[in-house]
Chains A and B, each alone.
Chain A
Amino acid sequence: MAVLIVPASLLVLGLLVAPMLLMLRISLNQFSPTQMMIEAMSADNYIRAVTDPYYQQVLGTTLGIALLCTLLTLILGFPAAYWLARIESRWKSLITILTLFPLLVGNVVRSAGWMALLGNDGLINATLLWLGIISAPLKLMYTPQAVVIGIIAVVLPYMILTLASVIESIPRSVEEAAANLGARPGTVFRRVVLPLALPGVAAGSILVFVLCMNTYATAILLGGPQFKMMAPAVYDQFIRANNWPFGATLAFILLAITMIFTIVGSIGIARRYKR
């Protein structure tokens, strides 16, 4: 039976682990504008990345945006997921597919749609100007708010579907029993549904958090040139500055921070679930 995992393992080893090891090696090299890379074994790039206030700020923005989007997605996604899980209709599978619908459009195309809505001569500004509510266009594009809206639109389906599958497995009779014993709907949610749905909350949040941390297209297209998150900063170093060692360093720092937050978050939720 063990042979069954061989193809997948080989694929992961060859396509993920090997390039990552290579990148780890590159991150220890030194940058030279004319020779691109000088072989070295130095932690200079890591020291620069953690001590430079600019990259501290970029990392801070990335973490802040990712945590905020995860929280908002959870708040927005839970009621929808609950409804989706409990609905008894012949349209249920159609509704599930509709939830997936936004994922059929690529990030770039979706962001282009947001640009048409939020731009200075976009739909929202044009309508407000036409109605006479504003006299000059509002700055909606190239703001952190635009990025948050754009990211939530991308990740919401992941949260809803993950939560819905877990909520579906919670027997309705448990909720009814709680209600029978006098619990108000709010108490049923807080004391019964939410604790039982915690594995789904954990899985959905981790999935969404990882996606948010690695946001690239949405950050660039809706955040504009002055808004920096980690993934665009990694791209900048690799592609524009040709500084592969520093780009690899930033990529590893992004990976490490994402992993730390994911692990700490899962342990925290697992402990709570056991109680």
Chain B
Amino acid sequence: MTITRRTMLTTGAAAMAAYTAGLPGVRAQSSQVVVGTWGGDYGQLLGDLIDKPIMKTKGGIEVLQDIANADPRKTKLLAEKQSRRGTMDVACLSDSDMYLTAQQDLFEPVTADKVSRMNAVFPNLQKAYAIPHIYSAQVVLYNPNKVNPAPKGFADLWDPKWRGRVGFSDILYSANTVAAALAGGGSLSNYGPSQKKLMELRSLDAKIYPSNEALAAALKSEEVWITVMWLARGFMWKKAGIPLEHVVPSEGAPAIVFEASIPKNSRNKDNAFKYLNAMLEPQAQIAFADKMGYVPTVKDAALPPDLAKQINLNEAERARLLQPDYDYAVKNNAAILDFWNKQFKA
């Protein structure tokens, strides 16, 4: 058969039409749920504790992980705002990122009739637009062999004794700015003092590492001795053999909650609600605590006493837990990034 220009064009056009028409249908009807999550341990644990045992085996729902860091995921959610069909069914983000995206009215309301496990969630962690998956507190991590006596709070990072031995992770610029604000007498609703404090720390040769992993390597090689970090990550690093202890800062410990929501343009909402419910199951919560050091967000996930001692805050420490001022944080994010890049890192 000879292919004429006419047949070529018509078959081409027909194939193209069939292809584009077929695209959206491929996933919409299937029993799937697409979860936008971090890779690494978090994604792996979701796979091992929720995707396979609960969703696939019990629910017959296949979970696809859309792995990326928080920033690209946030950008994707915002970019897809106008689309009728989104590419994510569940989006995992930290509480402040979730607040920022929720301001754009991107998420389905999360209520106990849709997610029955919401009834077991600690009341202070409940939100209208997300479930709280796990949480931790921002603490001071230090090398006990080098930093002696133990620091009491964020302000101890400014002790000239530790010149050149304070390290920060670049990606946690906002958390680091918060620590500087608290050390300077500010609060989660007033970052004002952070600028002066950060510049002081700069003249004390604070080191900045491009990622949390690079900071961990520097702590391990004892290049730096002291940093601010989530208690949970400190727990993991300690388990990995890095010489570290933590102290819940006297100025207060900002809480961080990792949350999950359902975009309004999700194509598998029913499955997505089932997924949120599974994330709150006690056994999954306990396993996350054991592996990653994050504290459960539900009342009925009792931790073994030994583990609880390592990752939970005691009564006095719990009183120092600080709740973020999301509105203030969101409005100031661009400004603190500017200061971080232009002044502190310059």
Contact = CB atoms under 8 A, between A and B. Distances in A.
Contacts of A239: 71-72, 74-75
A36 B104 contact: yes
Contacts of A238: 75
Interface string A100-126: 000000000000000000001100000
B331 interface: yes
B78 A34 contact: no
Contact of A225 (B103, B170, B331): B170
Name the interface size band of chain A.
20 to 34
B30 interface: no
B61 to A, nearest CB: 31
A93 interface: no
B345 A33 contact: no
Contact of B341 (A31, A220, A236, A242): A236
B337 interface: yes
A274 interface: no
A239 B73 CA distance: 9
A224 B173 CA distance: 15
A27 B152 CA distance: 47
B342 interface: yes
A241 interface: yes
Contact of A226 (B78, B208, B330, B331): B208
B214 to A, nearest CB: 9
A83 interface: no
B334 A243 contact: yes
Contacts of A36: 78, 104
Given A54-B342, A120-B223, A242-B75, A33 B330 contact: yes
B221 A121 contact: yes
Contacts of A240: 71, 173, 337
Interface residues of B, number: 27
Q: Which of B78, B210, B221, B341 has the most C-beta atoms of chain A within 10 angstroms of its own C-beta?
A: B341
Interface in A234-272: 236, 238-243
B209 interface: yes
Contacts of B103: 34-35
Given A238-B75, A242-B78, A33 B208 contact: no
A85 interface: no
Q: Which of A221, A236, A242 has the most C-beta atoms of chain B within 10 angstroms of its own C-beta?
A: A242
B44 interface: no
B100 interface: yes
Interface in B213-269: 221, 223
B106 to A, nearest CB: 11
Contacts of B327: 34
A54 B337 CA distance: 13
Contact of A241 (B78, B208, B221, B337): B337
Contacts of A228: 341
B342 A242 contact: no
A69 B104 CA distance: 43
Nearest to A53: B342
A247 to B, nearest CB: 10
A31 B71 CA distance: 17
Contacts of A241: 333-334, 337-338
Contact of A236 (B104, B208, B337): B337
A225 B208 CA distance: 7
A21 B223 CA distance: 48
Nearest to B210: A225
A27 to B, nearest CB: 16
Contacts of B337: 236, 240-241
B341 A54 contact: yes
Interface of A: 31, 33-36, 54, 120-121, 220-221, 224-226, 228, 236, 238-243
Given A225-B208, A238-B75, 8 more contacts: A33-B331, A33-B332, A120-B223, A220-B210, A226-B208, A228-B341, A240-B71, A241-B338
8 contacts: A34-B103, A120-B223, A121-B221, A221-B210, A224-B210, A226-B208, A236-B341, A239-B71
